[in-house]
Amino acid sequence: MLTERKTELLRTLVGEYIDSATPVASESVTIKHSLGVSPATVRNDMADLEEQGYITRPHHSAGAVPSDRGYRFYVERLSKVEELSPEFQYTLRYQFTKAERDIEVWTRLAATALAQLVNNAALVTYPKKPQSRLMRINLVQVQDSLAFLILVLQEVKLRKQLIPLSEPLSSDDLQMIANRLSDSMNGLSREEILAQTVEISPFERTVTDMVLDIMESEDSAQYRDHCIEGLRHLLNQPEFSNGQKAREIVEVLEDKELPKAVIAESPERGHMKIIIGEENRVGFLHPLSMVVCQYGLPGGGAGSISALGPTRMAYSRTIAGVRFISSLMTDLLAQVHG
C-alpha cells in the first residue's frame, strides 16, 4: 500500500512519462511539480517505487520509466477522464448521419475517427448475432440475363452476389419479387426461412437458396469482420521508431489472431476494459496496451471497439474516445432497429 505522498509522486511520474516519452529524473519532478518535499525525499521515494515494481531504472541515478504495474496503478486512480469537445462530438455524429447505412461504412468511420483521436491504432469489429436475421432483399438488374442480389441483414450488413436470369425480367418485376420475398422473410433466421412452406416460383427459389447460402456463411464465420486503422500513428510512437520494433508492430496488426484476441477481451456491454502490456493473454500483444468496449443492442448483435497503443498511451483521452464512439455506434444501431 503506497502512502499518499508516494501515490502522488507515482501519478506525477507516469503522467510526465506519457507526455514526454523520456525517463523522468527526480530533479525534473522537483522543479516542474510542487510536491512539497525535497529532492532527496523524491529520490528516496523513487527508490522505494522501484523496489516495489512500479517503476524501472537502469541504475540508481537514472530517470524513471513506469512498469506495467505502475501504469495499472495510474489507470485505476484516474480522477477524471478527459472530455471530448462538443465540436468534435457534433462533427463525428454528422459524418455518421450522412454516411450510407452500411455497417462496413460505419465500422471504417469509427476506426478512422478513433485512430486519429488517440493517435494510435484502432480496431472495430462488426456487430454479430449468434444467428443472422434477414432485414430485406433487393434485386437490381445488371443486364437482360443477370441481376444483383443485395441481402441486408439486421446487423446493417450488406452482402451482394450476382444471380443469373433464366428469362429476361424488368426492373419492376425484380422489385416486385424482392418485395414479396422480403415481406415473407423479414426478421427470420436461416432455420426459420428453411421451415417456411409458402408457394414460390422457380426464380424465387433460386433467390431464396442464394440467401440461405449467404446466411449460412455468415453464421458459421469464426469471428467478426473488422476494420483496422492507424498503423502510421502507431509507428510514429517513439517506442516503435526503429526498424525491428516497427516490423514487430506491423506483424501484430496483420496477425489473423488479433481480432479474436480483441473479442476475447471484450467486457460485457456498457463496461470498459483496459489491458496493459503483459496483462494481454497473447504474447504478441505484450508491447501494447488496449482499451476495449462493446457496442450494440441486447439481442441485436454486439461488436467491439478498441484502441491499441504503447503502454505509454494517453489513457484518459483513449478511454474518452472509446467510450464516445461505442455509444455512438450503439445509437446508430438503435435507430436502424427502430
Per-residue 3-state assignment (H helix, E strand, C coil) for the chain: CCCHHHHHHHHHHHHHHHHHCCCECHHHHHHHCCCCCCHHHHHHHHHHHHHCCCEECCCCCCCEEECHHHHHHHHHCCCCCCCCCHHHHHHHHHHHHHCCCCHHHHHHHHHHHHHHHHCCEEEEECCECCCCCEEEEEEEEEECCEEEEEEEECCCEEEEEEEECCCCCCHHHHHHHHHHHHHHHCCCCHHHHHCCCCCCCHHHHHHHHHHHHHHHHHHHCCCCCEEEECHHHHHCCHHHCCHHHHHHHHHHHHCCCHHHHHHHHCCCCCCEEEEEHHHCCCHHHCCEEEEEEEEECCCCCEEEEEEEEECCCCHHHHHHHHHHHHHHHHHHHHHHHC
- Average pLDDT score over residue span 166-184: 90
Most confident residue range from 31-35, 120-124, 146-150, 193-197: 120-124
What would the mean pLDDT of 91-120 be, rounded to a whole number? 90
pLDDT at 98: 86
> Exposure pattern of 51-75 as b/e (b: 16+ CB <10 Å)?
ebebbebeeeeebbbbbbbbbbbbb
pLDDT of residue 324: 95
- For residue 134, the tally of other CB atoms under 10 A from its CB is 24
| Confidence tier at 75 by pLDDT (50, 70, 90) | very high
Tens digits of per-residue pLDDT, 222-268?
556 789 999 999 999 999 988 888 898 999 888 888 888 888 888 88
In which band, very low, low, confident or very high, does the pLDDT at 9 lie, cut at 50, 70 and 90? very high
Task: Confirm if 163 and 207 have CB atoms less than 8 A apart.
Answer: yes
Give residue 322's pLDDT.
Answer: 96
Looking at residue 262, its pLDDT comes to 86
pLDDT in tens, 48-73: 999 999 999 877 777 899 999 999 99
What is the structure's pLDDT at 100? 78
What's the mean per-residue pLDDT of the chain? 88
**pTM, 2 dp:** 0.75
Cell numbers placing 217: 456463411
Percent of the chain with pLDDT over 70: 96
pLDDT digits (tens, 9 = 90+) for 279-308: 999 999 999 999 999 998 776 678 899 999
How far is the C-alpha of 55 from the C-alpha of 166, rounded, in Å?
A: 72
Average of pLDDT values for 99-118?
A: 90
Mean pLDDT of 31-51: 86
